[in-house]
Amino acid sequence: MIRPTVEHRSKVLVANSQGLHARPCHAVVSTALRYQSELRIGFDGRLVNGKSILELMTLNAACGSELELCAKGGDAEALLADICALFRDGFGERETG
């Protein structure tokens, strides 16, 4: 019996002050590529491939932007958990005062 593939969704906030620039995009893509599931990331009416750094960078998501993550596949829940953790941590970019 073939099970239907379930799509998992989550929303994340871009918390690092410089937004979704090259380094955070690289972190998202590097993490996503460890999984078989597909990842789509939506922002401002656009939906891009979360495993493509070029597509991800075109979102131009600034600090405070809310993104929607959609993952589909056998390891989709684990993929979303890891990606959400990156966003929660601000990609390790801490402001020093």
Residues annotated as part of the active site: 21
SS3 content of the chain, % helix, strand, coil (to 5): 35, 25, 40
Helices 76-88 and 22-32: angle between axes, nearest 10 degrees: 160
Find tokens 């999984």 and name the residue. Answer: 35
C-beta of residue 91 within 8 angstroms of C-beta of residue 85:
no
